[in-house]
Structure 1
Amino acid sequence: MQETHAEQTTEELEAAAEELRRASAELAEASEAADLAADRATEALNTLDTLAHSSGVSEFVYLAAAFALACFVGYYVVWSVTPALHTPLMSVTNAVSSVVIVGALIAVGADVAQSPAGGLSRTLGVIAVALASVNIVGGFMVTSRMLSMYKKKAG
């Protein structure tokens, strides 16, 4: 009986190791795709920067175009990840959201009250802090639930 249980455990470990190898390969592919997308975005931003400075485009149009490019790159990077890797990547976004909170806090505390955009900057900063906080809490909840699935059950 113990040999059968040991064989089952060995088979389960081998299957888990194979699944881990497969997930690792998929993660490597997704990482390469993200690197390629980042390189393309950098090239596009450099081209945009050159065009903006040479043609006299307003700063708003330049920043709006950079934001639009970032949205497209983010969309394609996220949707190129296989579904099996979304939960582990969700926990990684906690670090990204913490960077967003730092930027949002800077926007909230920026001393731009005398400028026309001062109130808008503060309002958008508060909204960004609230949304990033929800993302961080949700990410930790998902990560905690995912890790609890791998714990041995008592009894």
Structure 2
Amino acid sequence: MVGVFSASFLIGYVLISRVPSLLHTPLMSMTNAVSAVTILGALLLFSVPTTPLETCFGAIAILCASFNVIGGFAITDRMLKLFKAKSRNE
């Protein structure tokens, strides 16, 4: 499992670092969707009896994915505000 995690981390880092800025918003939307699925999976983990280690991993997964979702929405909102037309009174 550590090998799969390490490989996915390295591959993900390499792929995301090569994304042009024009594709940043669609990429953020996709990562928000993946994080939402991670949150649902972790919540499903809590619906069955688990060991303390599994509970800890589930809690960490929910915290990390929630941080990603909230951050993604904040950044997307900030980017959208850049494109709003300013009123003449401002």
Pairwise TM-score range, normalised by the shorter structure = 0.7 to 0.9
Match of residue 58 from structure 2: 125
Match of residue 13 from structure 2: 75
The Cα offsets for residues 28-65 of structure 1, whole Å up to 9 and x where unpaired, read as xxxxxxxxxxxxxxxxxxxxxxxxxxxxxxxxxxx222
SS in structure 1 opposite 2:65? Answer: helix
Instruction: Please give the TM-score of this superposition, normalised by the length of structure 1.
Output: 0.51
* Distance (whole Å) between structure 1 residues aligned to residue 74 and residue 52 of structure 2: 33
Q: CA deviation at 1:103?
A: 1.6
* Distance (whole Å) between structure 1 residues aligned to residue 2 and residue 21 of structure 2: 31
Match of residue 74 from structure 2: 141
Instruction: Please give the TM-score of this superposition, normalised by the length of structure 2.
Output: 0.82
Q: CA deviation at 1:108?
A: 2.7
Which runs of structure 2 are paired with 1:1-155 in the superposition (5 Å)? 63-112=1-50, 118-155=51-88
Gaps of 5+ in 2: none
- The 8 Å contact of residues 101 and 129 in structure 1, kept in 2 or not, is answered as yes
Percent identity, aligned pairs only, is 42
* Distance (whole Å) between structure 1 residues aligned to residue 8 and residue 48 of structure 2: 24
Aligned residues: 88
Highest RCO, 1 vs 2 (Cα 8 Å, sep ≥ 6): 2
State which structure, 1 or 2, has the greater radius of gyration over its C-alpha atoms: 1
* Distance (whole Å) between structure 2 residues aligned to residue 77 and residue 109 of structure 1: 34
* Distance (whole Å) between structure 1 residues aligned to residue 2 and residue 10 of structure 2: 13
Larger relative helix fraction: 1
Q: CA deviation at 1:77?
A: 1.2
SS in structure 2 opposite 1:125? Answer: helix
The Cα offsets for residues 14-34 of structure 1, whole Å up to 9 and x where unpaired, read as xxxxxxxxxxxxxxxxxxxxx
* Distance (whole Å) between structure 1 residues aligned to residue 47 and residue 2 of structure 2: 23
SS in structure 2 opposite 1:109? Answer: coil
Q: Provide the alpha-carbon RMSD of the alignment.
A: 1.7
